[in-house]
Structure formats: structure tokens, C-alpha cells
Amino acid sequence: MTSFQKKGSGVTRDTGKGDAAKPVRKTAALSSPVATEVVTPKRLGRPKTRLEEPRVVPTRCPSNMYTYMKMIAPLEWRSLTGMFQDMMTRFLTTEPWNHGLMWRKPRTALTYQEGVPGRTGWEQVNIQLPPDLADRVDRAAEASGVSKAAFCYTAMFWWIQYVYPPQAVRKIKN
């Protein structure tokens, strides 16, 4: 059985086991009838290092393609987001669509058969890019006459097929 005692300026709890009284954290309910403290939750994980919020450019790709990209991302980049930024920067710089690369149209992630939703093997991918790079993607997609989703999916295809094919990745890993 515990009892509370006021000792000095802090509230302590007597555990009844003969040990010293232990301090108890004051709450707004104990100190005043009106809560005046604002509790802010602590941030978990790595601290945010971006100077500005990234913009999301949604697209879709086959699940195995996305799994492959997640696998190769740690080889040279700190994150998948870093790899996507590098991929888009290089794609916009080299402009492979002017050298014969055909535009790829992404499929939907869900299908409906007799009113029942089903998976197609494709999944939604939200590519996070800095605002200036996202604007460049918007302008290039509009100038090329394709959707942003098709532009990004084609960039992903180009990245996996020509820049980091599985044969080249095997050499990097070894």
C-alpha cells in the first residue's frame, strides 16, 4: 500500500518498504486545476536534414521491380529517396527518350473482376523529390506529352535496364 506525502517542494511517494521516499513527477492535475503545460511528443528516428519539404510524384511499377530498387539503394546511396533523386537527375540530364527510349505506360495497382478487387502485381510508388527537381520532372513530362506517372515509370525502367542492371549489381556487390 502506498501513500503520498508532500516533502519540500516536490511530491514523493512512500512505498511502505522502509526505503527512502521516491520523487513523483508533478502533473498539471496535481499542481493546479487548469492544465497550463503543453506536452509536445519527442521525435523518433533520425533528425530531419532537409532544408525544404520534398514533393511527392506518384507512379506505379511491378512489385519485383520496386523490390529490386529497394535492394540496390543501400549499395551507393543512404536511402531510396537519395537513389530516386540521383535517378531523376541523371534521367533529365541524359534525356534518353531523345535517343530511342520508348515511353512506358504504368498499369493500375488494383483490378476489379466481377466487383471483387484484386492485385495486379503492380504497386504505388511515391517518389519524393526536392521541389526544383519535381518541377523539372513536371516540365519535361509535359513537353514530352506523357503523364508524370509514365515519365517516372520510364525513368525507373531505364535505371534498372541500362544504368544498374542485375549483371552490373552483381559485380558491385562482389
Q: What is the reported pTM?
A: 0.66
Check residue 48 and give its pLDDT.
Answer: 57
CA dihedral 129, 131, 133, 137 (to 10 degrees): 90
Has residue 165 been placed in a domain? Answer: yes
- Domain limits for position 110: 55-173
Number of domains in the chain: 1
**Residue 92 amino acid letter:** L
Has residue 91 been placed in a domain? Answer: yes
Has residue 18 been placed in a domain? Answer: no
Check residue 105 and give its pLDDT.
Answer: 84
- Contact, 125 vs 67, CB < 8 A? no
Has residue 64 been placed in a domain? Answer: yes
Check residue 161 and give its pLDDT.
Answer: 93
Q: Which residues pair with 118 in a beta bridge?
A: 111
- What confidence tens digit (pLDDT) does each residue in 2-41 have? 554 555 555 555 555 555 555 555 555 555 555 566 666 6
Has residue 34 been placed in a domain? Answer: no
Q: Cell numbers 511502505 correspond to what residue?
A: 16
Check residue 120 and give its pLDDT.
Answer: 74
Check residue 110 and give its pLDDT.
Answer: 64
Has residue 39 been placed in a domain? Answer: no
